[in-house]
A and B are shown apart, each in its own frame.
Chain A
């Protein structure tokens, strides 16, 4: 657990970068600091491993005041990932990953073993081990950066916009891989980003900071989308927050309709319905066809593939989007193995949304208990 207690950073010129910041980053969770540039999010992050010293207040790590610890020892116990990876260009990928273990004086064989293990953990092919950073793509460099931060198995990780320098497709892959990794490792993570979508996707808890380093709101992402505390936060979390917040509502039992299906190669002659769903031989959906425009066997190029597919165990957002994007207006729902379980219509999803409890109240309570400070209540 990382606790900020009245932390302020004022620079000699008088600029206040962080103003009386108090919050807790709970153990094993991802806390995202998000805000526009100049909101002090990076400064806050860098005060945790004392790359920057606070002017006032204390930061404690599992109850221990970090200002009393030896700087280098503190940092060796905290994983640190930065925007452009900051890999050492003169060292191979493997040696980069082994940096902290080497500083800690591990034995060489153990360092090499651990480094190789981490490379595969972050999804890098073993043959990349002997390359140099300049020979890697941006996304690969970022993966090495994460592996390097994990090398000595620190309980805490600090990540400063680690995915913002890569293009959107790679960013998405990196985020997914990161969440998967966190699912296995359960580190205490403080993550800085300027991208609210990234914050909402990754954070167990999201802290929105405003310019001048003032905490505007801290809560779980669902609550943040539903109850922005003021215009600034509302503006910052964006327009379609109502729709996006559905992402955090697990789908209740959907009223599924069974769907008539054909497989590729079968004929649709004589089927009266305007749209028919095509599946493969394992009953996984492939796309829709219009029997009235076809004659003979269904070929792969006849398929309308525009619709999305949602999992029955997924969120209401997925179910609604499946219905809205489907050419037949019937949203395709599958089970966890991808097999078709039925279809659902948009109005049915909307009815579920309307009848469901607002997500906020109970979640807000649980967060107050989890030790978030009273600041949110203060400012609301």
Chain B
């Protein structure tokens, strides 16, 4: 505990950069996955192609992807952009399928009704399909968030600072307390991300809460 008490400042700084390294890819990944998932659903031939492509990207081990990024991006080896892009790749790989499946979870009769009422194109997507797909997409996003927080810590091996530094430094200098602090900080951060996404989902889908209450009563 004394170690932790002496290092609050460091932990806070590292946590902040961890939030950025894990959080920005989450937002970017979602923004990229939405149109891709929509396309996969819109053109059924595209679906298997996009799903296998994202599956392939997901098989690449994280450390390998981190060290290969500079070749692909032309960045410096220590550049945090490598981590952000790599994490974005993972997020997209995970979310394309989720978005496509979430959109196809919207019942057909609802889509027909929306069309009958004159919803078209983008308005139908944002007004009807996307809101109804929120629960499925949010579930995927929660998985992505938790795994992002864990994977980002590996970046300390390539010298990009975040909470993972507590782990490597603790190991290098035999400070168990520092490792434990790093693990706890990562878990707390993952829980915070998870909670925030859950909260966002609740706010975006008020009708599900109503139905849940009614279900509990009956």
Contact between chain A and chain B defined by CB under 8 Å: no
B residues within 8 Å of A by Cβ? Answer: none
The residues of A with any CB-CB pair to B shorter than 8 Å are none
